[in-house]
Each structure stands twice: as C-alpha cells, then as structure tokens.
C-alpha cells in the first residue's frame, strides 16, 4: 500500500505565490460526482459531465479563488464498468487540465487551463462497481472488483496520501468497496486496514500543531440530514449506517486523540454535520470535537466552501450551483439552502425558516415513516406543532416548486422532541 506526503512547495498551494505561507485559504468540498457517459435507469448521475462542466467553470471564476477542489468519492457512476471502456471517467476529465493525461499523479489535474486550481479526488464505492444491475445472490452484493484500475488510469493513484501546508494537513483516505449483505444489512464500505490506521496516526503525530482534515467517502458518524436540489437519499441516516465496517470505532478514537478538526464525507447524498456519536450539530460548533461533515451530491450542484486559518476551520452551509442551467453551462443560480429550525431540541413547537417567503409543503414523519404533520405555507417563518406527538426523533421535509418550474426541491432535517 503506497503512501505519499506532499509538501507545500511542490503541491496544492504553490499557486499562492507571494502570499505568506501561513495565510488562511479556502477550498471547495464536493462529493458524489457520479459522472457517466450513458444515462442510468437505476440511479441519478451526471450524464456526459454536463453539471460538472458548469460548476467547474463557476469555481474557476470564484472570488476569492479556492486554493483547490476536493471530492469525496463516487467520481464515476460505474468505475469498473464492463459496458463502458474506461469506467466513464472521461465524462469528467474532458473538463480538466490536461484532459488527456493518463495515470496522473496526485495534484496533476486542474480545473482551469492556467493550471492554478488543482482538484483532488478520493475513491468511493462506485469506483469498484462493474455494473449497477445483476445483484449477486451468492455474494449478496453488486458485481465489483477489489481494485480500481480505471480510477488509477484517469484520476489518481490507488493510494492514501496527505497534503500538508504550514497551517494544515489533509489526509485523503480510501474507505473501501461495498461489503456483502451476508456481513451487514446496512450499506457499508469495507473500511480500513490496520496499516491505514497506523499510517494516519503517523501523519497526525507529525502535524500535531496544525489544523487537521481527513477526507473519505463513507461517513464514520451519521444522522438524518436534508437533501440537496434534485438529489434523493441513498442511506439510512443512523449513526453507523452507510459507514464502514473495519476499524470504524478505532478511526473515531484516532480523531478524538489527535483533535482532528473535520472529517469530510459524502455517500448518503445529504447535508448534515454530526459529532462522533451521530448528534446533529452546527457546522461551526467549536465545543463539539471532530465535526463529521457530509455534503450533498455534486450531480445535484451541491458543494460547501471550507475556510482554513491557523485557529479554526469554518464550514459553510450547503451551497447550490448550476441547479437550473446545466444544459447551458451558465451558473445562473448560486444560493445557500437557508433552512433554519429552532429551538433544538424542542418541547414540540418548532420555528421553521427558509430565509425567504415562498410556497412550500411542510411535512413531518416519525421514524416509522408515518406522516404526522402536513401544512402548506408561504410564511417567512412557519411554526410546526408536534406537542401531541411522543418524545423522539422526527424528520422534517420541506418541498417547493423551484421558480415556478415543475422541478421539485426537497430539504430534509431532523427534529428532536423532548418535553
């Protein structure tokens, strides 16, 4: 298992040039890009990279400019496709620079022609699939390979690696392929080896005085979040569902021990930030320990801006890019998902704000999936009354037609009733 540590001088922040090496910087977090060269009847994906073309163009012209872009897995919809040579990655690399580079090293792909904003991509479980159909009765999983040759050919080495700056270190990890349903009925990744845990520990020891970020596909700690744009959920929203099997608790202990600031993940196609035991927390809680951050899928235009300085790492609310104009390549809508719910937890009365007045359907479901509340509202702040419901966890769903179009956007958010 090859490991690499990249120094600032030769890696991602060389573009900062004359800016002091200890300066703050920001980057973009993407996940679940799911590019495909063919349409899919099984799941949502970014056909021919139309959405990717749009948001990469937008990121390249952002001000301030991001130091780099990172993606936490599921770059291809079917990375080892037996039907599509090359595993569909060219749907993305056609918009990267240099677009024809084979077997790129870490930090050798950029989103701009001037090659000043690199993109770093970690593998997800879809990198291992050979097809999304033909579920195997004998292995109880979708057909897959135990390697990612197409990812290596078009995206990055099959390797864990770290990128270091004077104020931060970011570890890019491989959390594995799907495991058999004979092992677990939850959709989990295979997880980490002892060697991977030891390597992470060694890198963190060398960088104890820096801000620390770990990048991976499967969320080590999970909870029900809310969706992004047109995206639908792919996970269960429990504290270990959609995560990984081997060394999950050891990984969380490692994050505790070395005061890791952020773990960035995706996989579940939702937006949520939780602590180590799956409690939903504010994006920028400074008393919660490691923040486990999920960002909704890039194929729906979702991303976050992560800002790093020597004292703290700030995580933005989820943002939407190109959510109505992938066909034109013009990012005409760039907005935050302004969902705000308070107080949390509550005795049953919740105030729900979207930051703007627009017609929405507000629904609340219990953990059995039963609808317990539904109202149509155009209020800037709407009050949801669950006082007649028993204490426990509920899921708030807010659905709206977007700008009068038939496209339906749904936000989901966990509610806790505690009287």
Q: What is the pLDDT of residue 82?
A: 83
What's the whole-number mean pLDDT along residues 36-54?
88
**Torsion on CA atoms 248, 236, 89, 92, rounded to nearest 10:** -110
Domains of the chain with CATH codes: 3-336 (3.60.21.10), 340-417 (2.60.40.1220)
Residue 45, phi then psi, degrees to nearest 5: -155, 170
pLDDT tops 70 at residue 316? yes
Q: What is the mean pLDDT of the chain?
A: 80
Please give the average per-residue pLDDT across 293-302, as a whole number. 91
Residue 270 · residue 237 · CB < 8 Å: yes
pLDDT of 239 reads 47
pLDDT at 83 over 70: yes
Contact 305, 40 (CB under 8 A): no
As a whole number of angstroms, the distance between CA 117 and CA 407 comes to: 33
Per-residue pLDDT tens over the stretch 94-149: 999 999 999 999 999 999 999 999 999 999 999 998 887 765 555 556 666 778 99
DSSP letter string over 222-260? Answer: ----B--TT----S--SSSTTSEEETHHHHHHHHHHTT-
Q: 185 pLDDT exceeds 60?
A: no
Provide the pLDDT confidence category of residue 12 given band limits of 50, 70 and 90: very low
Q: Are strands 381-385 and 349-353 parallel, antiparallel or unpaired?
A: antiparallel
């Amino acid at each position: 298992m090859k490991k690499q540590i990249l120094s600032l001088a030769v890696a991602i922040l060389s573009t900062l040039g004359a800016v002091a090496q200890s300066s703050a910087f920001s980057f973009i977090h993407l996940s679940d890009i799911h590019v495909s060269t063919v349409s899919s009847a099984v799941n949502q994906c970014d056909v021919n990279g139309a959405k990717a073309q749009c948001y990469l163009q937008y990121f390249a012209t952002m001000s301030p400019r991001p130091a780099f872009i990172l993606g936490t897995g599921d770059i291809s919809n079917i990375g080892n496709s037996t039907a599509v040579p090359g595993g569909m990655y060219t749907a993305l690399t056609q918009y990267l620079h240099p677009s024809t580079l084979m077997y790129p090293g870490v930090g050798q792909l950029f989103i701009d022609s001037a090659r000043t904003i690199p993109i770093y991509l970690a593998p997800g479980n879809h990198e291992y699939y050979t097809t999304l159909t033909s579920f195997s009765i004998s292995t109880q999983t979708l057909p897959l390979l135990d390697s990612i040759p197409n990812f290596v050919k078009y995206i990055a080495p099959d390797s864990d690696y770290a990128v270091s700056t004077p104020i931060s270190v970011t570890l890019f990890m491989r959390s594995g392929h799907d495991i058999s349903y004979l092992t677990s009925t939850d959709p989990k990744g295979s997880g980490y080896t002892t060697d991977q845990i030891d390597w992470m520990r060694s890198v963190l020891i060398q960088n104890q005085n820096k801000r620390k970020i770990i990048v991976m596909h499967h969320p080590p700690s999970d909870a029900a979040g809310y969706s992004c744009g047109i995206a639908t959920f792919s996970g269960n929203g429990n504290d270990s569902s959609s995560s990984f099997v081997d060394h999950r608790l050891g990984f969380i202990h490692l994050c505790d021990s070395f005061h890791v600031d952020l773990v960035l993940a995706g996989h579940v196609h939702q937006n949520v930030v939780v602590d180590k035991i799956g409690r939903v927390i504010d994006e920028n809680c400074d008393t919660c320990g490691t923040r486990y951050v999920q960002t909704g899928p890039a194929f729906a235009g979702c991303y976050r801006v992560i800002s790093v300085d020597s004292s703290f790492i700030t995580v933005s609310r989820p943002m939407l890019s190109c959510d109505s104009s992938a066909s034109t390549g013009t990012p005409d809508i760039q907005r935050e998902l302004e969902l705000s719910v308070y107080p949390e937890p509550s005795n049953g009365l919740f105030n729900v704000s979207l930051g703007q007045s627009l017609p929405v359907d507000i629904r609340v479901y219990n953990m059995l999936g039963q609808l317990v509340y539904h109202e149509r509202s155009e209020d800037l702040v709407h009050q949801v009354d669950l006082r007649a419901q028993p204490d426990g966890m509920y899921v708030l769903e807010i659905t709206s037609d977007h700008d009068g179009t038939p496209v339906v956007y749904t936000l989901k958010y966990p509610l806790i009733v505690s009287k």
